Amino acid sequence: MSFITGVGLTAFGKHEGSSSLDLMSKAAELAIADAGLKRAEIDGILCGYSTVAPHIMLATVFAEHFGIRPVYAHAVQVGGATGLAMTMLAHHLVEAGVVRHVLVVGGENRLTGQSRDASILALAQVGHPDYEVPLGPTIPAYYGLVASRYMHQYGVTQEDLAEFAVLMRRHALMHPGAQFHEAITVADVMTSKPVALPLKLLDCCPVSDGGAAFVVSREPTGEIGVRVRGCAQAHTHQHVTAAPALSELGAEIAVARAKANSGIAISDVRYAAVYDSFTITLAMLLEDLGLAARGEAASRVRSGHFSRDGAMPLNTHGGLLSYGHCGVGGAMAHLVETHLQMTGRAGNRQVRDASVALLHGDGGVLSSHVSMFLERVR
């Protein structure tokens, strides 16, 4: 068994003068304190990557900087799925008895550490270097392609997609650490600047500075345990040109495997934390995961199903779309918020029942997927 024993999250937005290591350290310190542990008790470190400060041994760099000499440490790179992939690995390392307490950490000064163009260029490199990148696509364009096809196939409209941006913003308004604090409407999304149609500016997550961390342990360190019940991955392709049909995407495969190895059904889930780099990402993943029928996710947003007081509260911190996206730490914020909800510490965002949660991360262009079920135990 493994448990998420502590979580840490910085505010997202601008952290002028903070390096990636600074943001990682800040989040790590919060997570270790939250677990009620001391630095010296951490014997494993898994970290993500920083596009601002790339390094071939980031985990070791961080360990030295932070002052830990772990028995196990390395970086993990699966794009947006990195946070949950690290959590899955930490779960297995702890279960196998390799380590007792793994620190999982991600942080990057992606907003103030480089220009927005540099961020967009770095991310576009997930495309094929010979057959895609020379055509000048951007990450929004890769997802714009996917969106156009999904909308065509399932009758989803741009107004439907806008609902997800509005929902994430409404949730972010309740979190002081979120990057955005102004309410938006569907009309605001529709009239925002075109980026890669059908995606407009407010369909896209921002670039942020920030950090997130958690501790994965063999036993709970507090009264309430948040246990990893099961997790699984699926990797169907890297490049959008080589993606399988919409009906064969990796999220469905990953969640089916996670359901099988956890024994948990979607009907057991009370809280959802789903990757939302773009509105289309969230719409598709909700439907792939079985949290809404095909083409029905937007109407479930409109009916309040995914709101804080709805039947399936979703990304109550505001998600990547409105809490912000600092790279690896971005999707880790989803797990931090889930932990706060499951342990009854989400304050004015607290949902009625978060006893069982489904988390899902996606890297590349719906290329790499990690699904995970967490369960509260006392």
Partner 1 sequence: MSGDRQRMADWTAGAEAIVYQCCAACGGLQYFRRSFCAICGAPDPVERRASGEGTVYATSLVCRAATPETRAHVPYNIVLVDTAEGFRMMAHGDHDLAIGDRVTARFAPFAGRLVPYFERKK
Binding footprint of partner 1 on the chain (CB under 8 A): 117, 120-121, 124, 128, 130-132, 134-138, 140-142, 144-149, 152, 193-199, 239-242
Q: How far is the CB of 161 from partner 1 (least distance, A)?
A: 13
DSSP for 269-293?
--EEEE--SBHHHHHHHHHHHTSS-
Q: How far is the CB of 371 from partner 1 (least distance, A)?
A: 25
Q: Which CB, 132 or 362, lies closer to partner 1?
A: 132
Give me the phi and psi of 74, to 5 degrees please: -170, 170
Q: How far is the CB of 75 from partner 1 (least distance, A)?
A: 25
With residue 327 as reference, give the H or E element that holds it. none
Q: How far is the CB of 61 from partner 1 (least distance, A)?
A: 28
DSSP letter at 13?
B
Q: Which CB, 44 or 127, lies closer to partner 1?
A: 127
Q: Which CB, 146 or 258, lies closer to partner 1?
A: 146
Chain center to CA of 69: 28
Give me the phi and psi of 228, to 5 degrees please: -80, 110
Residues paired with 213 in a beta bridge = 8, 105
Q: Find, among 294, 281, 258, 342, the residue nearest to 154 by Cα.
A: 294
Report residue 127 as tokens.
């495309």
Q: Which CB, 124 or 186, lies closer to partner 1?
A: 124
3-state secondary structure of 358: strand
Distance CA 268, CA 270 (A): 7
What is the sign of the dihedral through the CA atoms of 60, 63, 69 and 72?
negative
Q: How far is the CB of 278 from partner 1 (least distance, A)?
A: 11
Q: How far is the CB of 87 from partner 1 (least distance, A)?
A: 31
Q: Which CB, 205 or 264, lies closer to partner 1?
A: 205
What is the sign of the dihedral through the CA atoms of 373, 374, 376 and 378?
positive
Q: Which CB, 35 or 365, lies closer to partner 1?
A: 365
